[in-house]
Structure 1
Amino acid sequence: MVIFYLLLLNICSIIANNSFDFRFVSYNELLQNGQIYQNDDHAFDAITIDQQRDQIIIGAKNAIIRLSLGDFHLLERYKWETSTNEKIICHNQIQSFNECENYIRVLALRSYDQSLLICGTNSYHPICIWRRPDSLSTIISNNEKFISGNGKSPYNSQYSSAYYLIDTELYSATISEPVFGVNDPLIQRSFSHTKQLRTQQHDSNWLKNPYFVRILNIDPYVYTFFREISLEHLSCGMNVYSRVARICKYDHGTMTFSDTFRSYSKLRLLCSKKLLNEKTSFDFNELQSIYFYSSLNLIYGAFNLPKSGLIGSAICIYTIDQLESVFKSSFLTQKSNESYWISSSTEQEMEK
């Protein structure tokens, strides 16, 4: 049995202890000084806080849970499983009972009409549905009950994903259903009144085995934070770099009949620590999480060292102005797959 704990820290009671060191909080202290909710559900990959209704909504395996925000009292548990027929088809396809379930991966609140977008893996064929956030059993439907979740939710529960709902538009970053057996990583804009757009399909210059971490909405851009294999240093081996990709929210695509972003660009997010001799440094290349402190426009990133080397973590802080100054500077281009990456700043090279 897997037990899930949600902890609401009572910081004041911990600080009252004279021996308290604010830098460290033990697991036992968390249990002693927090509100706890536990049940047999697991695979909690989607969590959203609904302050307007004073609740927290959690996506799990075959279920969505609503808890009160103050004391984690259970408000509702709605069961959403894959149909028997879909499970059979899935099992015949991948020979895995565990993956042939519905793992909830997207929980996005839309404020103007009080609706909640829910997407799940649905036995390797993702689907989405709009429901009421205060009554998960109530469906909000326009023309069709279920919406294709392809590109919005990963089809495999082990794959990463990120999303952000802006008014009527959903920005998502995930691994789409494979085309001819090849995975299709993408950043996508859907439900748009103008045009549904995505990153270039099967182009490793855009995305190379990405692990998506978070999407932020900071006008007039949408920023996607992820890590991926670095193509610009393949001659030195398969290195993983952290990235942030920027897309203009007013992007209308490259051409009339194209579904590819025109404004897409990305940069390396560097977090390093110089050693005492100041000549060498540790590069914390693997981004794990992102927090945006909106009042100060600060972005906090948690990074790990590569698993093949020493064990270590770091937190680095960036400003929006720092990111924008890099996006406005020169960038790397490659004329062909055999040529070196070189610095360029011309619009013609950027179009290539």
Structure 2
Amino acid sequence: MCVTALPLLLLLLLHLPLSAWAARPPRVYLSYRDLMESRTARSFSFGFNTSDYRILLLDQDQDRMYVGSRDYVLSLDLGNINREPLIIHWPAPLNRHKECLMAGRGRADECNNYLRLIQPLNRTHLYACGTGAYLPQCALIYRGWRSEDYVFRIVSGSLESGKGKCPYDPKQENMATVIDGVLYAGVQVDYMGTDSAIFRTMGHTPPIRTEQYDSRWLNDPVFVGSLAVSESSFREDDKLYILFRERSLEGENGPAVLSRIARVCLNDEGGMRSLVGKWTSFLKARLVCSVIGQDGVETLFDQLRDVFIQQTQDKQNPLIYGVFTTLGSVFRGSAVCVYSLADVRAVFNGPFAHKEGHGYQMTAYTGKTPYPRPGACAGGFSVAGIRSSRHFGEDVLRFVRTHPLMNSAVYPVNRRPLLLLSDASYTYTSIAVDTVPAADGEYTVLFLGTDRGTVQKVMILPRGPEETEGLILEEVEVFRVPSPVKNIRISSKRHQLYISSAVGLTQLSLHRCAGYGDSCADCCLARDPYCAWDGRGCVRYTPSTTRRSRRQDVRHGDPMRQCRGYNMQVDRGVSEQLQIGVEGGSVFLQCDTRSPLESVTWLLQRDGSQQRKEVRLPVMEGGAVLRSVQTRDAGVYTCLGTENGFRRSRGRVRLGVLPQDLLEKLTATPTLTPLPAHCPPPRKPRPALPQPDRN
């Protein structure tokens, strides 16, 4: 299998099935104005001069959402983000702001306090950190026991340094999570951004970090996300997985950036003589999202942008959804890949990567691996006899220091993307995932943010044991001023999305069922697992055995089977329109289709004929055009829309054609004969005198 560099991507498209690269249009597209008129969204309006609404933290127990922006921390109501927000103003100190400006850092408003970390520390407090005008600072925030307490303030005297917890530069991405009062952060540690590390600070455990200035461990990383997992009945086996992308060291011909997944043990205490204060359990592996062509050539999506962790019934094996894009500007593409944590473990239990031979290429390590296996957790299932990482032998620590990379890569489920986007002018930036119960099973729905400020709702439809299809149900503009989506958070409990960008924050319902149409057929063809026909309209579907009139068919979308008794509504509102054309001129025949997925067919019943025949017309948005109309074109034109095999009338026009010679007679100006010169002009009639009332 050959791995190609990005400049060859355009050539590789020839080797891929066309259907795999086709970006289908959304069934419904809503502008920002249409979205607000639907009353299914709210836009958060912040009256102060702030921006960069990047950090979102949902607390569904207290029914609050915490937002970090420039100089402000917000506490918003999950039910209505505009209802009495609680606000903390947290600017950088004035003297620090001036020092930052003097250092030349004020060209793009860097000399402010950009919130980059908000994590729950316990039931009553949050831990928050900001860039502090290139001098990171952190503090405790008291939020009360309940949302009804209506308190939100920085704890007096809790300000402390944020080094190793929060980046200096607001443009740098970071990762942070608090587990049992301990903070784990992937961050740039220094002012110049040259020292990147995965840090553990706070709590009862000693501080630990990755090896400093060692490109084998981290090489200019961009941190994306993390997840903590209990991997066995031994608590000592608990691990943290970190997802990021970094510059490649695997070879000269590979891409410049690769996506990674790394892991560390939560109980790691560092080494005794070697790796003191460093991770002894740090390992990393490549995360591959790619498409394999018919000739075996692999097209890569190497830029990991966002991840979503979906819990499953097996708590030890959640699914990892990742959004990837291509590298460079030659070709723009996006993909969504899904990974099983069981596959990730198999790679970490496999061979280590080792540089040897001519050119020091990466190969599988074939020498003797020390015991206990490098990367294992002290006191865990496989290392029960050693209670602390400080007791690991020097041979184990030396191996960990020089061999942090696994030889095998982690491939997605079924070894191909779940969703692919290639021929669009935009890319995906963020993701949230929901599992939706429907009448015919459970379905996965993806909510994907784009760099043009929209959110797409994509339903994943199973097509076989290993085949799926992505149906774009809708796309909505979520910001008044278009801006790339930074974060998406989902509340399945409230059926709401929360979307942030540099310019604003929007709360969005997961469903807009009425927007699909006012007939059972429209509702069924939409194939939205959130929606069903209840006999009167397209409404939210709720699992229940009492409402037997609900009609829903997500898997097949067949109105003929599901809408018996309601199919008469498919022609509701379709009346015959009269239209007059002029011979030799053009006529526009209107045909309104609700879905861009409908194919349009025109039938003509000519005047004096009893038969309808299909005619080919130049189709335009909203109808078709007849150019150079002739008298023989008069008749009744019927527009038929076909979607998923279901055909229905979408418009009917009776066209009359006016002959050109008749039009000339009707529009001709009458000729006036001039009076002789000796004849006086006619007198104007005198106005009639009023007559007396004879009654």
Query: Does the alignment reach a TM-score above 0.5?
Result: yes
Structure 1 residue 77, shift from structure 2 partner: 1.4
Q: Deviations over 1:85-112 (max 9, x none)?
A: 111111122342511110000000123x
Secondary structure at 1:206 match in 2:
coil
Q: In 2, Cα distance between the equivalents of 1:339 and 1:312?
A: 32
Counterpart residue number, 1:314: 335
Q: In 1, Cα distance between the equivalents of 2:358 and 2:79?
A: 56
1:156-167 counterparts in 2 under 5 A? 156-167=169-180
Counterpart residue number, 1:169: 182
Question: As a proportion of its length, which structure holds more strand?
Answer: 1
Counterpart residue number, 2:138: 128
Counterpart residue number, 2:67: 58
Q: In 2, Cα distance between the equivalents of 1:105 and 1:320?
A: 28
Q: Give 2:153's aligned amino acid.
A: S
Q: In 1, Cα distance between the equivalents of 2:322 and 2:114?
A: 27
The 8 Å contact of residues 65 and 76 in structure 1, kept in 2 or not, is answered as yes
Matched, 1:45 2:58: no
Structure 1 residue 308, shift from structure 2 partner: 3.4
Q: In 2, Cα distance between the equivalents of 1:328 and 1:248?
A: 15
The 8 Å contact of residues 280 and 400 in structure 2, kept in 1 or not, is answered as no
Unaligned residue ranges in structure 1 (runs of 5+):
1-20
Aligned pair count reads 324
Secondary structure at 2:171 match in 1:
coil
TM-score when scaled to structure 2?
A: 0.44
The 3 A distance-change label for structure 1 pair 308 and 237 is: farther
Secondary structure at 1:341 match in 2:
strand
Counterpart residue number, 1:8: none
Greater Cα offset, 159-168 or 336-345: 336-345
Structure 1 residue 52, shift from structure 2 partner: 1.8
Q: Give 1:152's aligned amino acid.
A: K
Q: Give 2:341's aligned amino acid.
A: I
Q: Deviations over 1:239-262 (max 9, x none)?
A: 211001100111111236811100
1:255-266 counterparts in 2 under 5 A? 255=272, 258-266=276-284
Counterpart residue number, 2:258: 241
Structure 1 residue 278, shift from structure 2 partner: 3.9
Matched, 1:107 2:123: no
Unaligned residue ranges in structure 2 (runs of 5+):
1-24, 145-150, 231-237, 371-394, 403-695
CA root-mean-square deviation: 2.3
Q: In 1, Cα distance between the equivalents of 2:239 and 2:176?
A: 14
The 8 Å contact of residues 355 and 363 in structure 2, kept in 1 or not, is answered as yes
Matched, 1:331 2:352: yes
Secondary structure at 1:197 match in 2:
coil
Counterpart residue number, 2:229: 218
Q: Give 1:117's aligned amino acid.
A: Y
The 8 Å contact of residues 212 and 225 in structure 1, kept in 2 or not, is answered as yes
Determine which of 109, 112, 128 is the counterpart of 1:118.
Answer: 128
Matched, 1:302 2:318: no
Determine which of 260, 265, 269 is the counterpart of 1:252.
Answer: 269
Structure 1 residue 339, shift from structure 2 partner: 2.8
Structure 1 residue 341, shift from structure 2 partner: 2.3
Q: Percent identity?
A: 28
Using CA pairs below 8 Å that are at least 6 residues apart, which structure has the higher relative contact order? 2
Greater Cα offset, 327-336 or 291-300: 327-336
TM-score when scaled to structure 1?
A: 0.86
Which has more radius of gyration?
A: 2
Structure 1 residue 338, shift from structure 2 partner: 6.5
The 8 Å contact of residues 248 and 254 in structure 2, kept in 1 or not, is answered as no
Matched, 1:81 2:91: yes
Q: Give 1:137's aligned amino acid.
A: R
